[in-house]
Chains A and B, each alone.
Chain A
Amino acid sequence: MASSDIATRASRLPASGWLETLLVSLGIRGRTLVIAIPFLWLLLFFFVPFLIVLWVSTSFVVIAQPPYTHIQDGTFTLNLGESFGRLFHDSLYYKAYLNSLVVALVSTIVCLVIGYPMAYGMARCSHSTRNILLMLIILPFWTSFLIRVYAWIGLLKNNGLINEFLIWLNVIDTPINMMNTNFAVYVGIVYSYLPFMILPLYANLEKMDISLLEAATDLGCKPIKAFFLITVPLSFPGIVAGSMLVFIPAVGEYVIPELLGGPSSLMIGRVLVNEFFSNRDWPTASAVAVAILLALVVPLMIYQKYQDKELEKES
């Protein structure tokens, strides 16, 4: 049953009741009221704040409370040059910005390469095994994100478990320096976001019609070829959804580079937090937020389109 069918059937249900009569006489239909409650909440606490960020990004820094103003020399001025100009001229900002995009992109690709065979294998298991494996993928998500990142410090340190293990195996003599490097940031991001890649892929591959593969095999297609010609193209919506779920939050990631990365692994989320809390430069922090959002507009739209399609398709 498509969602539009449900809606038509639901709309045919008779409407009555004193509360509704009262509201209708006031010009408010129950329907409008029901929509208005979450709509207004999200509008006020999710959408309007973005406009404020845009507003603050065009202000001047002052030593006051709050530390921004639009009044310059007694007149109202929009300050477009200073905060945004800094993003282009100061290498700290655009390097962190580009670095974040690269880290997010590479992490997304690594998640896809690790996650695809995983989701594929899960979708081809028997029904009962599938549910258990699915539980095992979701379980870490329910435990604290912060603690899972913390766990990697114990593994990656110079005297951490991985180095101790490799020394014990006589593979290496001196510990490999992994903590506080870009490598550690990649490990942290891939580890934390991998379930977000696997779940949409699995949801997609699980629904795939196996008879298509059987038909291909019957017609003499080799399994590997059938995989790349049939399975992969059919799972494209899952690939897109998973990639967006990893890429978008990874661009602004703060906790992972802060805990696992070193001073060189500068990511834009860290710059934003530092500008805001350490430097108290709210206009620049806001400009950084606007810049991150600009990079994410297209991925966000792709993600939204996928969500709407899923809503139409699901039954």
Chain B
Amino acid sequence: MNRLSWVVIVWMIAVFAFLYAPIVSVVVYSFNDSKLVTVWGGFTLDRWYIALWNDRQIIDAAKLSLLIAAISSTLATILGIIAGYVLVRFPKFLGRTAFSGMVNAPLVMPEVITGLSMLLLFIMLQPVIGGRGLMTVVIAHVTFTLSYIAVVMRSRFLTLDLSLEEAAQDLGAKPLKVFFVITLPIVLPAIVSGWLLGFTISLDDLVITAFTNGPGTTTLPQVVFSKVRLGLDPKINALATIIIGIVSIGVVFAIIHMRSAERRRQMDEQMAIRAIAAQT
């Protein structure tokens, strides 16, 4: 392997600086003891965090957003597992191209278009489903997060070793049992990361929610957006810092877990090899 030229290394450092400078600045200014977000007025640990905690509007919206994200991501994970499974295991059926198109397109479709089209559907369905509210937002979130989860599941099913399922079948397990007892537990880590991805995307969505929600369902991104439009607000910095903190801790845990799982797998393999060697 040829060594990287210093130009590429400097370039990479610069790109990471570009990616992280805004995030770092938000975190730093959440500890700024001044109402003016970009003027440093001394260090405060908790001023904006207490203000954030006392802002009912933000806290209520956050609770609602977490609820919507949990419901949507769970439903989307169920549908996403099936969709990913279908894409890998059933290469030929009527409408497969249309199906794979409908799975992939929401990933790139401009949100204003998805939002507008869903709203028009919900208005047409109004006699059946009633007015807009929690349910319409959940349906919209399920529909566009399901694609992300399907893509995660698809790549997991592609690399799945079939011999375990075949062995279970040979031993007399019925197809549904094989799927729930063998297949699902193996792909569980992918399901968890798919669910987390869906949860994060749902939690963060602004545009599609703005189209599909009703008067009583104002989500966190909508509150943030309306506050940001009026100017910078140190409370938003505090909120951002909390989100960034949770995500970073989650990622560190994921890395540690992945490493230990990898080590366990290697140990299992070595033990298996030793066992085989002892037998022969």
Where the two chains meet, the residues of A that have a C-beta atom closer than 8 Å to any C-beta of B are: 3-4, 6-7, 9-10, 13-17, 19-20, 30-31, 34-35, 37-39, 41-43, 45-50, 52-53, 56, 66, 114-115, 117-118, 120-122, 124-125, 133, 135-137, 139-140, 142-148, 150-155, 157, 159-161, 164, 191, 194-195, 210, 213-214, 223, 244-245, 248-249, 251-255, 258-259, 269, 272-273, 276, 282, 285-286, 289, 292-293, 296, 300, 303-304, 307-308, 311, 314-315
Contact = CB atoms under 8 A, between A and B. Distances in A.
Contacts of B39: 159
Interface in B198-253: 200, 203-204, 206-207, 211, 221, 224-225, 228-229, 232, 236, 239-240, 243-244, 247-248, 250-251
A147 B140 CA distance: 22
Nearest to A140: B19
Closest 7 CB pairs of A and B: A252-B110, A49-B117, A151-B22, A38-B83, A17-B174, A42-B102, A248-B108
With a 10 A CB-CB cut-off, give which of B155, B157, B174 has the most chain A CB atoms: B174
28 contacts: A4-B91, A6-B157, A7-B89, A17-B174, A31-B93, A34-B86, A35-B86, A35-B99, A39-B99, A42-B102, A46-B114, A47-B102, A50-B117, A53-B120, A56-B120, A114-B15, A117-B11, A121-B4, A124-B4, A140-B23, A143-B23, A143-B244, A146-B225, A154-B29, A191-B19, A223-B2, A259-B228, A304-B100
Given A124-B4, A136-B16, A146-B228, A154 B26 contact: yes
Nearest to A153: B232
A164 B37 CA distance: 13
Given A4-B91, A34-B85, A164-B38, A155 B25 contact: yes
Contact of B169 (A13, A154, A289): A13
Given A48-B121, A52-B124, 9 more contacts: A13-B175, A41-B146, A42-B143, A114-B18, A139-B251, A161-B38, A210-B2, A289-B112, A289-B117
Contact of B117 (A52, A121, A148, A154): A52
Nearest to A15: B175
Contacts of B150: 38
Nearest to B178: A13
Contacts of A15: 175
B93 A35 contact: yes
B276 interface: no
B127 interface: no
B112 A161 contact: no
A143 B117 contact: no
A219 to B, nearest CB: 15
Given A37-B82, A142-B251, A308-B100, A249 B108 contact: yes
A240 B108 CA distance: 14
A144 B240 contact: yes
A154 B232 contact: yes
Contact of A249 (B91, B109, B154, B251): B109
With a 10 A CB-CB cut-off, give which of A10, A137, A155, A157 has the most chain B CB atoms: A10
B116 A315 contact: no
A7 B85 CA distance: 10
Interface in B39-94: 39, 79-80, 82-83, 85-93
A286 B120 contact: yes
Contacts of A308: 100
Residues of B in contact with A, size category: 35 or more
Contacts of A150: 26, 224, 228, 232, 236, 240
A248 B110 contact: yes
A151 B240 contact: yes
A121 B82 contact: no
A41 B79 contact: yes
A278 B188 CA distance: 46
With a 10 A CB-CB cut-off, give which of A41, A122, A125 has the most chain B CB atoms: A41
A131 B8 CA distance: 18
B12 interface: yes
A253 B108 CA distance: 11
B33 interface: no
B277 interface: no
A303 B92 CA distance: 21
A13 B15 contact: no
A145 B207 CA distance: 12
A304 to B, nearest CB: 5
Nearest to A217: B2
Contacts of A39: 86, 95, 99, 102
B255 interface: yes
A249 B12 contact: no
Given A38-B79, A142-B200, A255-B206, A147 B224 contact: yes
